[in-house]
Copies of this chain bind each other. A is one copy, B any other.
Amino acid sequence: MKHLSVTKAEAFIAQALHANHVPLVDAKLVAQLMIQSDLVGADGHGIFRLPAYIKRIRAGGINLSPHIQIEREQGATALINGDNALGHLVMNRAVDVAIEKVKKHSVCWVGSHYGNHSGAASVYVRKLAEQGYIGIYMAVGNANHMAPWGGIDLLLSTNPIAIAVPAGDKPIVLLDIATTVAAYGKVKLAAQKGESIPDTWMIDRHGQPITDPQKSSEGSLLPIGGYKGYGLAVMIGLLAGALNNAAVGKGTIDFNAHHDLITNTGQTIIAVDPSAFGDQEQFVARVIALVDDLKASSKLPGVNQIRVPGDGAARVMAERLAHGIPISSELQESLNNCAKECGIAALDL
């Protein structure tokens, strides 16, 4: 597989966005944040999304001159209005506000509405952990592919949650999960490749497992842990959607079907300062001790290595910073088609 350096990838994205009237400073920032998703191996959330973002921009579904602002602010909380900007800009602002507020109050809760898809959740909590804070992120996903437990109607998204905990000079402990067994993107990928999917991923309207991804359109993704994951998806929908006066449930816009409609994506960031609870170094030592104990566990037959949330991402990041981002031939084609549309040079691979 070919590899694209981070510098070239960022430049390509920034050019494409700028060619579509995204101001250069915004285009560069979005490019840099998009590549953060690729760097941690969240391949469905980085440069892969560029053609979809461009499609939305060209359809008028994004405000290219947004006035992202703090709409309400009270104590250690803030509500940001993203003014339908590219989601990365909104979340970048949310992280900045969170850092300001956590410095002052030791904890803060920053909600946002009128945002958009902003890549992997991990990108934003990682920024907090890099500065020594614990970060939690929750979002309402941009398409409903899950029914309530026992139901058929697709009223819920995969509503992800990410949590990052700093670990000194060791990899940040970082969990970034959807509340469904599989992301819908994985189903679509299997359909593209003509592969079947495991019978634990989706059910049809009769409650039977779907294994042919071509039949996924009316099916429901299954939540992790049955009613437990369903419950988590509901609660995240309330905390990131209803609380922020953002879309949730029936109000959710399918961003793959409607490129021109305002998604009013809701996202929430919580930051907390570990030093408010005791010595930061001792805290980090306790984090590392737990990580080391977990990794040193005896292994099940056939298991080579025990993983801890975030160490896979750290390994991928080191590899990709050194060797670039792998670009499949399908992705190369898709990005070069996009380049042609935007009137910019093809990928330099």
Contact = CB atoms under 8 A, between A and B. Distances in A.
Interface of A: 72, 74-77, 79, 104-109, 111, 134, 147-153, 155-156, 163, 165, 173, 175, 177, 181, 203, 205-207, 224-229, 231-232, 234-235, 237-239, 241-245, 248-250, 270, 272-274, 276-278, 282-283, 286-287, 289-290, 293-295, 297-303, 305-309
A309 B272 contact: no
A104 B77 contact: no
A95 to B, nearest CB: 16
Contacts of A237: 290
Which residue, of A105, A237, A274, A299, has the highest number of chain B Cβ atoms within 10 A?
A105
What are the nearest 10 A-B pairs in CB distance? A224-B225, A151-B297, A75-B106, A75-B105, A153-B297, A150-B303, A175-B231, A242-B286, A107-B109, A74-B276
**Identical chains in the assembly:** 2
A16 B250 CA distance: 51
Instruction: Tell me which of A134, A177, A225, A245 has the highest count of chain B C-beta atoms within 10 A of its own C-beta.
Output: A225
Nearest to A203: B300
A121 B225 CA distance: 19
A152 B300 contact: yes
